Amino acid sequence: MKKLFTLLAFAGCTVSPVFAQTDTIAFYKKSEVMIPMRDGIKLHTVIFSPVNAKVVLPVLLQRTPYGAPGGMANDSAISLSNFSSGIAMMLKEGYYLVIQDIRGKYLSEGTMEIHQPLLHATNKNAVDESTDTWDTIDWLIKNVPGSNAKVGIFGVSYPGWLALVGAVDPHTALKASSEQACMGDLFLGDDFHHNGAFRLSYGMEYTYEVEYDHTTDSDFPFPQFDLFDWYLQLGPLKNVNEKYFHGKIPTWNNFVKHPNYDTFWKKNSPLSYIDYAQIPQLHVGGYYDQEDINGPQLMYAHMEKRDRSNYNYLVLGPWNHGQWARNKADSLGNISFESNTASWFQALQKKWFDYWLKGKGDGKFEEAYCFQTGSNQWKTYTAWPPKNAKPKRLYAGAGNTASFTKPKSATGYVSYTSDPAKPVPYRLPPIEATYGTGSRWRPWHVEDQRFVYSRPDVISFVMDSLTEDLAVTGKIMAHLFASTSGTDADWIVKLIDVYPVIDTKSLTMSGYQLPVAMEVFRGRFRKSFSHPSPLVPNKPEEGSIGVHDINQGVKQGHRIMIQVQSSWFPVIDRNPQKYVPNIFEAKETDFIKAEQRIWFSSQYPTYIELPVMKE
C-alpha cells in the first residue's frame, strides 16, 4: 500500500508568466484549497489547472494518505516535463488534476482509520471515504471554472482502494474509475495476512509508518541494516507491543485482538461493502505485486458476478506493485519483458479516461488484457479466467519428481525438519527495511529460488523438460497433502519455471528458477478461517491453496517445479508449530521443531492444478 511514485518531480519546475495558446496544454497552474465535507471537516486539496485551455475539460481525481504534492507557491506554473509520463500523456490534451489528502493525514483535518469500511449505506449520518469522495466532487464541479462536470478517479495502492470505494454510490459527475493495486481482503490475501498467515515485516513497518505520526510517513528506527537477525531476535509477536509499540499503533492492536477471520475482518473486507461496478471500473494488477497481488484479481472476480452493465474490466501485467505507473517497465529484476509495458498500459489508461470523460474513441475495450510472461506478449480475453482453459494436474512424485501422471503407490512421502529458530528467508539476505535505503523489496517475487533450493527444509519436485510450449492461463490451485509432528504448521507452495541448464537465449539465465506463483497457507485454518483448530500430529490432511492468477508461457526445454517449505521469514511470522489460540500471544516456549511430511501416494496425491490453454 506504500506510496510508489510521485506524480510530479519538482526539482526543476519550469515557471513562466507568459503563455501562447496552442492545441495542446504545456503548462499547469497550481492552487490549494480546503474542501468542506458534510460533517464540517475540511480536506486539503491541490488543484492543477490547465493554462490557456480553449474548451471545458474533465477532472482527474486522486485521493491519498501519502501527502498531496507541495513545494510550490500557489499560482506556480508547472511544465508537463515535471509530471510522470503517464500523467503527462493525459494532461497534454487537457484535464484538471486534483490530488487530495484524505481525512486525518498530512494537511487535512479529522481522524484517519486505515481502510475504514463504508458505513453510509446503513447509517445515513455516517461519513466514510465514499461520502468524502462525493462531497469533494460536488465541490469541484461547482467551484472549478472550465470543468465539463465530468470526473474520473484513479490511484495505485491505497489510492487505488480509495478509487474503488469512491466509486460506490457515486456522484452523478463521477463517470469512470480505475483502481490499481488496491487491497482486497486483508485477512485472506493482501498486505497484512495471506490465508491467515501474518505478514510480519510488512505489517509492522507499514502500520508504524502510517499511524505513528498522522502528519507524515514514519520509518521505524531499526538499529541495523540487515533485519533478518533483528526480526529473529524480536522473538514472539507479543514483544512488538511490549518492547516497541506500547499499544500506540491502532492497527497493530487490531491484529492482536483479531487473530482469526471474525466479524472485524469481514466487516472491513471490500467483499462485504462492494457488490458491483456502478460506473465503468478498470482493475489493474501485477502478477509479481509484492504487496497487493490479490486485490485487483479478487475485486474483478467479485464484481463480475453482477456486471449487468458491462462496466467491469481487468488488466494484469508482469509487474510488481505499481510498476505500470512508472516511466519504464521493460523488466523486473533479471526478467526481461522485451518491451516497455508501462507505456503500453499508460496509453490504455488514456484511452479509458478519454472515452468516458471526453467521448473520444469508439469505447471498445476488451474484457481482460493479460500479459503472457515467458512469451512476452499481450493477450486479450472475452472472460477471465478464460473459459477454454483446461485443468491439468501436475503431481508430486517419488525421487523429487513431478509429472502429469497420478501416483499409483499406496504409500509415499518425503519429510523435513522445520525449526522456528532457523527459518527459511523469503528472499536472499540482506533483508533491508521494506522501504529503507537500498531495499530490494520490489523485485523479490521474481528472485532466483536457487538460494533456498539446496536447504534440507525446502522440498522440490521437478518434471522432465517440456517437449512443447505450455500456456498456463488462469487461477492456480495447489492441493497439498501434508502432515506434521506438531499441532500447527505453515505450508508455502511455489510453482517454478526452471530454465534450461544452458539457456541459449541468455546464458546468464541458465538454470534460473523463476517463481511464477507462490503462496502461504496456515494449517490451523484448513477447515475454517473463522474457527481454527489444531492439527492432529502425523495425520495427513489436504490443504487447498489458491496461488493467484497467472498467464505464463512455459517454453519448450524448460521444466516445471513444485516447491514446498514451512517458513518464509520475516515476511511471514514464525509459526510456533505448537497450536496456541492466539499466535500474537504465543510464548517463546511455544516454538518447537517439527517433522513435516509431504505426501504423494494414490490416497494422498499432492498436486497443482494448472489451467492449460491450447495456443
53 and 42 in one domain? Answer: yes
Percent of the chain with pLDDT over 70: 96
242, 266, 290: which is the final residue of a domain?
Answer: 266
464 and 327 in one domain? Answer: no
218 and 98 in one domain? Answer: no
DSSP 537-597: TT--EEEEEEEEEEEEEEPTT-EEEEEEES--BTTSPPP-SS--S-GGG--GGG---EEEE
CA distance 221 to 239: 16
- Give backbone dihedrals phi and psi of 108, rounded to 5 degrees, phi first: -85, 150
Q: Is the per-residue pLDDT at 60 higher than 50?
A: yes
- Please give the residue that has the higher pLDDT: either 111 or 22: 111
Q: Mention every residue, 6+ apart, whose C-beta is less than 8 A from residue 114.
A: 207, 210, 211, 250, 251
CA distance 571 to 385: 29
Q: What is the pLDDT of residue 614?
A: 82
Q: What is the radius of gyration, based on Cα positions, of the chain?
A: 25
C-alpha cell at 421: 529458530
Number of residues in the chain: 615
Average pLDDT (274-293) is 98
In a domain, 536, yes or no: yes
CA distance 271 to 251: 20
Each as own residue / partner, the long-range contacts of residues 344-347 (CB below 8 Å, 24 or more positions apart, any chain) are 344/378, 345/86, 345/284, 345/315, 345/317, 346/85, 346/86, 346/89, 347/89
Q: CA angle, corner 506, sides to 503 and 507, nearest 5? A: 65
473 and 371 in one domain? Answer: no
Q: Is the per-residue pLDDT at 70 higher than 60?
A: yes
With beta carbons less than 8 A apart as the criterion, state whether 572 and 380 touch: no
210 and 156 in one domain? Answer: no
Give residue 124's pLDDT band: very low, low, confident or very high (50, 70, 90).
Answer: confident
In a domain, 556, yes or no: yes
Q: What is the pLDDT of residue 14?
A: 44
Pairing relationship of beta strands 413-418 and 541-554 according to DSSP bridges: unpaired
In a domain, 191, yes or no: no
Among 461, 454, 476, CA closest to 546? 476
35 and 119 in one domain? Answer: yes
In a domain, 3, yes or no: no
CATH (domain of 245): 1.10.3020.10
Tell me how many domains the chain contains: 3
266, 286, 304: which is the final residue of a domain?
Answer: 266
For the beta carbon of residue 282, count every other beta carbon within 10 angstroms: 27
Q: Is the per-residue pLDDT at 21 higher than 80?
A: no
Q: Is the per-residue pLDDT at 15 higher than 60?
A: no
CA distance 345 to 319: 11
In a domain, 194, yes or no: no
Coil, strand or helix at 162: helix
For the beta carbon of residue 464, count every other beta carbon within 10 angstroms: 10
Per residue in 521-549, pLDDT (tens digit) is 999 999 999 999 999 999 999 999 999 99
CA distances from 190 to 182, 274, 488, 586 (A): 9, 17, 22, 23
In a domain, 446, yes or no: yes
266, 295, 318: which is the final residue of a domain?
Answer: 266
Q: What is the pLDDT of residue 475?
A: 97
- Average pLDDT value for the chain: 95
Task: Identify the weakest region by mean pLDDT among 10-24, 361-375, 571-585.
Answer: 10-24
Q: What is the pLDDT of residue 156?
A: 98
In this structure, what DSSP letter does residue 373 have? B
Q: Is the per-residue pLDDT at 4 higher than 70?
A: no
Task: Identify the weakest region by mean pLDDT among 114-118, 252-256, 324-328, 409-413.
Answer: 114-118
358 and 501 in one domain? Answer: no
Q: What is the pLDDT of residue 16?
A: 39
243 and 170 in one domain? Answer: no
Query: In which residue are the cell numbers 485477512 written?
Result: 187
In the chain, helix, strand, coil percent, each to 5? 20, 30, 50
Percent of the chain with pLDDT over 90: 92
Average pLDDT (449-475) is 98
In a domain, 74, yes or no: yes
569 and 420 in one domain? Answer: yes
Per residue in 177-206, pLDDT (tens digit) is 999 999 999 999 999 999 999 999 999 999
Q: Is the per-residue pLDDT at 113 higher than 90?
A: no
With beta carbons less than 8 A apart as the criterion, state whether 182 and 88 touch: no
For the beta carbon of residue 462, count every other beta carbon within 10 angstroms: 21
476 and 609 in one domain? Answer: yes
Q: Is the per-residue pLDDT at 19 higher than 60?
A: no
CATH (domain of 154): 3.40.50.1820
In a domain, 504, yes or no: yes
CA distance 516 to 494: 8
341 and 324 in one domain? Answer: yes
Q: Is the per-residue pLDDT at 162 higher than 60?
A: yes
570 and 466 in one domain? Answer: yes
In this structure, what DSSP letter does residue 535 have? P
Torsion angle (degrees, nearest 10) of CA 560, 615, 365, 100: 10
Q: Is the per-residue pLDDT at 507 higher than 90?
A: yes
Range of the domain at 41: 10-184+269-381
Per residue in 401-454, pLDDT (tens digit) is 999 999 999 999 999 999 999 999 999 999 999 999 999 999 999 999 999 999
